[in-house]
Structure 1
């Protein structure tokens, strides 16, 4: 009887090839040893946020860095999958709105992923991805508090780079964007703020982008990105791209 080992090996190889979406192939113009795999986890959100549009836009922005091999997964439950460990960084681009968060297995998967040294980027309303999980504020640094004023009316505002020496923001200039200026973040976890914006409603400065460590992992949190134009704004796009690279331990 012939051995089935070669056939089994072929099946495993084909399974690995089909695991990722067609539009997330490794960029051939980057050296293989420099490529880092990034997964954007999306699929649920507040009805006013169209993740079906913003997730592809965010992926395109990140892929402008040839070293970032980006996959989009439209199921937050993916955080519970062992396949998460195949990635160097994850991006939370979903929000727990009128639906349960992905559950205990996803919470544990995300926590182990970052604590072990992988990267995490949180975008816009991703700050509300795990409303029922107390540990999330320690991972995210700041989280959505529904008891606070949500944001200024959608409109233009200036994003001020407050740390021009950090690898993410080094050499970046302050910029103007049209977006939602979040005023709803709460938490006491120590964070290092990279950018702020001043509210036109209360004349106070609010963190727009910041970093922290969780275990051995790096976390970059940026609350910009309400819609496609906001994601594609050159200043915001640079923050997202450089932040993702930094969390994956690449030089931005």
Structure 2
């Protein structure tokens, strides 16, 4: 196979001219994590909030969950019913029973839910959440949590082989391949595009009920991968609720990818309303181009200090299977 050069398009525009909705979509963005977790929600939550609000469609309220299981939840009472959609940037092992029940009722009765990256590491022993997420990883999940899910020969397959859930290699750019191009979130996107350096989750397990995989990425064995086309973007149904689950977005750099931004914005609108009105930006990445918002990346002190360095160039990726 011929090696294709990877070009980098730095989207330098720090703001957009948008029309603001007369009635904004009310979003509750929940963050926080257990002690010792590896995701810096203090840095990523402001990025997610900015990405939604700059569309002019969303009004975002942030609520930080206490650490669990030892945290004090007596003052944490988010009123889910005030919102149309919840965005979870929360990596937590558990919640109190009454809070879980309220969350289930919100989604089951038609509330939207968006699960971002490590939020699918949460709640391994909460059956309803695992149904909402479809797949998850880590936190001692094994084959008891459900089979692994991936694409093989162009079809979604379930693999009940024993083993732990959740794996990834080094953070590198990788190609994302559309699987459901006519879904409202995906309509108008290119068949394949490059995603900026990120963790490519693999060996994800779960019930996989009422789940549609919108896009996958090849997990390269040369980067601790499985050799499978792994789910990256999902939609699910739970009761009357719509769920968008993106496995992309480990850190500020990954969240600054125009491909992530676009699918996150569109996925949140779809989860809230069932429709997508947003246009595809002209800076959307292509099959051999990474498109990256430097204004967002600069919100990470590590980027400002040059710690992240240049974008690594990935090995050639095989054709989608």
Per the TM alignment, residue 107 of structure 1 is displaced from its structure 2 partner at its CA by 1.1
1:124 aligns with 2:117: yes
| 1:212 match: secondary structure | strand
Match of 1:17 in 2: none
Match of 1:44 in 2: 33
Q: Deviations over 1:27-69 (max 9, x none)?
A: x942323x11011100115532111000111111111221111
Match of 1:160 in 2: 177
Match of 2:194 in 1: 176
| Structure 2 unaligned blocks of 5 or more | 1-17, 67-72, 141-163, 278-321
Match of 2:21 in 1: 31
Match of 1:95 in 2: 91
Higher helix share: 1
| 1:93 match: secondary structure | strand
Deviates more, 1:52-61 or 1:81-90: 81-90
| 2:33 match: secondary structure | coil
1:240 aligns with 2:236: no
| Structure 1 unaligned blocks of 5 or more | 1-27
User: Quick one: which of 69, 72, 76 aligns to 2:59?
Assistant: 69
Q: How does 1:10-29 map to 2 (within 5 A)?
A: 29=19
- In 2, distance between residues paired with 1:138 and 1:241? 23
1:106 aligns with 2:99: yes
| 1:94 match: secondary structure | strand
- In 1, distance between residues paired with 2:78 and 2:172? 41
Match of 2:216 in 1: 196
- In 2, distance between residues paired with 1:205 and 1:176? 15
- In 1, distance between residues paired with 2:98 and 2:89? 18
- TM-score (ref. length: structure 1): 0.81
How many residues align? The count is: 221
- In 2, distance between residues paired with 1:66 and 1:30? 4
- TM-score (ref. length: structure 2): 0.65
CA RMSD of aligned residues (A): 2.1
Match of 1:6 in 2: none
| 2:20 match: secondary structure | coil
Contact residue 166 and residue 205 of structure 2 kept, 8 A: no
- In 2, distance between residues paired with 1:73 and 1:149? 27
Q: Cα 1:184–1:32, aligned 2, differ >3 Å: closer, same or farther?
A: same
